[in-house]
A = this chain, B = another copy of it.
Amino acid sequence: MSMPTDAEIAQSATLEPITKVAESLELGPDQLELYGRYKAKIDLGVVDERRASRPRGKLVLVTAMTATRFGDGKTVTSIGLAQGLGKTNRRHCLALREPSLGPTFGIKGGAAGGGYAQVLPMEDINMHFTGDLHAITSANNLLAAATDNRVHFEQRAIRRGKAEATDATVDPERIVWRRVLDICDRQLRNCTLGQGKASDGFPHQSGFDITAASEVMAVLALAKDRADLRARLERMVVAWTKGGQPVRAGELGCIGALEVLLKDALAPNLVQTIEHTPALIHCGPFANIAHGCNSIVATELALHSADWCVTEAGFAADLGAEKFLDIKCRELGHFPAAVVLVVTCRAMKLHGGVDLDAVGAENVEAIEAGFANVRVHLDNLRRVYGVPVVVSLNRFHFDSDAEIAAVRRLVEAEKADLALYEGFARGGEGAVELADKVAAAAEGGNQALRPVYDLDMSLKEKVERLAREVYRADGVDWSEEAEADLARIQEHGADALPICVAKTQHSISDNPKLRGAPSGWRLRVGGLRLSAGAGFVVVRTGDLMLMPGMPKRSAAQVIGFGPDGNIVGLS
């Protein structure tokens, strides 16, 4: 391909001043806090005011089939779809997650779309942006320091005979709050902190997660306003006492400091697509330990400011769309008007049994076999959740006509709509078909809530229901640890919370090696974790990787300034 790189396309684009982009959302300069010429935060008061006074537009969720390791283009499709809505004169606003520095310097090298479907300025969005992730890092770590500071002084007083350990004493072995950094750094996964002299703290096995995995990130993404943010922060559990009671962040006396640290981070960020349409890029919680969606405030602001709000969710539909529909939409109070299911020929070939390094070669048979994966996701979305779906084939230059014809045939056999998406190569022009089909599918407006489980089910029932209905498991097996976690969590009244399942993104099952539409398997639950501030119970199946490592050759070794002073290596 002779196509320019993402960075080259971004740098050759002419941006509109962000004040001009804001006008398309009827936002005046007084409602913006500028971060340079091309980024702004929007005053939180606007969100409240529009929620109260303006009708809600149509919500469109972009999700995907189970992906290859390359990713399959959810973000590129979301951005291109927004651009396509613009090309077809539909008032719209994109609402996406913000990238994390860790993956940017690790394997991914950026997360602001690609080709002619990008959000700009991509160099800033991929770096510090407006500082939200840094604010979250600071707040998370201040809370960690405050927790350990309490333990340090409690233990010191006990050591010096000035106090006695009671049921209310924090159990130093059960501090659950970890520190975070926005980086890929395997050295930080497991550490012993507090070594040295007694004045250097107390020895404690702990570690760091990546910032996107912090519960503070999930809390910020779910908070409706400042009061809700405060209430959620206060509820977060940082440790357990000797007597088995949760120690909440609110008991440490530093919630005010956390609020001040997060005061700007709660306000949504406005940028533009490469075609100058508005994009809110705000919050990016992990899609395993958290729900994996952009913020409630950004989504609601977009919904109440435009006729169309396009958004996305992490990983494939069994993970991302599920959490979007079962967790985030419950907070929003409604389902989307339509869902876009992104598929690629190479992902279908992978699920049809082809090795990853051979998915570029034509193989219609493998596509037919691998379509089983698409069928499960399609069925989940339409039958289980009751939302209209448009299948969007993210077209690559190596897809053959025969392959595309096969996909068309397969999708038609399911009585579903297919759009050929070419936004990467052609921008909004390449997404006109998708935009029109989404508009048609969304005609009925935002759908009524129809989550897969009800909140008044027990936690076990919820997991069972989700596993059977969405993952197509034969049942659920609970480890001893999970049973113990469950008992403790139920004791503290968290049975009524939604669940947030951390599961491999490489399979609909809990086994990353099972491709296509696995059947005849049972979901193994390893443990539970109460995210009381976010308001869900994390259900762990398999290993939970919360601090990625750097590959031997990392994007950090490619990113830099080129000879002309432009940034290279970002994509």
Residues of A participating in the B interface, judged by any CB pair closer than 8 Å: 33-37, 101, 105, 123, 127-128, 131, 134-135, 137-138, 141-142, 144-146, 148-149, 152-153, 179, 181-196, 199-202, 204-205, 226, 252-257, 259-261, 263-264, 549-550, 552, 554-561, 567-569
Q: Which residues of B contact A191 (CB under 8 A)?
A: 191-195
Of the candidates B128, B141, B188, the one whose C-beta lies within 8 Å of that of A135 is B128
Copies in the complex: 2
Q: Which residues of B contact A555 (CB under 8 A)?
A: 257
Known: A146-B550, A260-B561, A561-B260. A189 touches B185 (CB 8 A): no
Known: A34-B35, A35-B34, A261-B127. A192 touches B192 (CB 8 A): yes
Known: A186-B201, A195-B192. A134 touches B128 (CB 8 A): yes
Distance to closest chain B CB from A357 (angstroms): 22
Q: Are A559 and B148 in contact (CB under 8 A)?
A: no
Kindly state the separation between the CA atoms of A367 and B514 in the bound complex, as whole angstroms.
81
Kindly state the separation between the CA atoms of A218 and B512 in the bound complex, as whole angstroms.
46
Of the candidates B142, B196, B259, the one whose C-beta lies within 8 Å of that of A560 is B259
Kindly state the separation between the CA atoms of A141 and B211 in the bound complex, as whole angstroms.
14
Kindly state the separation between the CA atoms of A257 and B567 in the bound complex, as whole angstroms.
10
The SS class assigned to the A binding surface is mixed
Closest 3 CB pairs of A and B: A256-B560, A134-B134, A190-B196
Distance to closest chain B CB from A245 (angstroms): 21
Kindly state the separation between the CA atoms of A255 and B254 in the bound complex, as whole angstroms.
37
Q: Are B200 and A256 in contact (CB under 8 A)?
A: no
Closest residue of B by beta carbon distance from A200: B189
> Assuming A134-B138, A149-B549, what are 9 further A-B pairs, CB within 8 angstroms?
A123-B260, A134-B137, A145-B183, A149-B186, A187-B204, A188-B193, A252-B557, A256-B559, A259-B561
Q: Which residues of B contact A123 (CB under 8 A)?
A: 260
Closest residue of B by beta carbon distance from A561: B259
Kindly state the separation between the CA atoms of A131 and B130 in the bound complex, as whole angstroms.
8
Of the candidates B190, B200, B264, B550, the one whose C-beta lies within 8 Å of that of A145 is B550
Q: Which residues of B contact A135 (CB under 8 A)?
A: 128
Q: Which residues of B contact A188 (CB under 8 A)?
A: 179, 193
Closest residue of B by beta carbon distance from A130: B131
Kindly state the separation between the CA atoms of A131 and B101 in the bound complex, as whole angstroms.
14
10 A-B contacts (beta carbon < 8 Å): A34-B37, A128-B134, A144-B185, A145-B184, A148-B187, A149-B550, A191-B194, A201-B549, A256-B569, A259-B560
Q: Which residues of B contact A184 (CB under 8 A)?
A: 145
Distance to closest chain B CB from A164 (angstroms): 18
Of the candidates B101, B257, B556, the one whose C-beta lies within 8 Å of that of A105 is B257
Counting chain B CB atoms within 10 Å of each CB, which of A105, A145, A204, A552 scores highest? A145
Q: Are A201 and B183 in contact (CB under 8 A)?
A: no
Q: Are B145 and A185 in contact (CB under 8 A)?
A: yes
Closest residue of B by beta carbon distance from A195: B190
Of the candidates B152, B189, B552, the one whose C-beta lies within 8 Å of that of A201 is B189
Distance to closest chain B CB from A306 (angstroms): 25
Kindly state the separation between the CA atoms of A255 and B556 in the bound complex, as whole angstroms.
8
Q: Are B200 and A264 in contact (CB under 8 A)?
A: no
Known: A192-B195, A549-B199. A556 touches B142 (CB 8 A): yes
Kindly state the separation between the CA atoms of A189 and B193 in the bound complex, as whole angstroms.
8
Of the candidates B185, B194, B254, B557, the one whose C-beta lies within 8 Å of that of A556 is B254
Closest residue of B by beta carbon distance from A230: B561
Of the candidates B181, B549, B560, the one whose C-beta lies within 8 Å of that of A255 is B560
Of the candidates B36, B101, B141, the one whose C-beta lies within 8 Å of that of A181 is B141
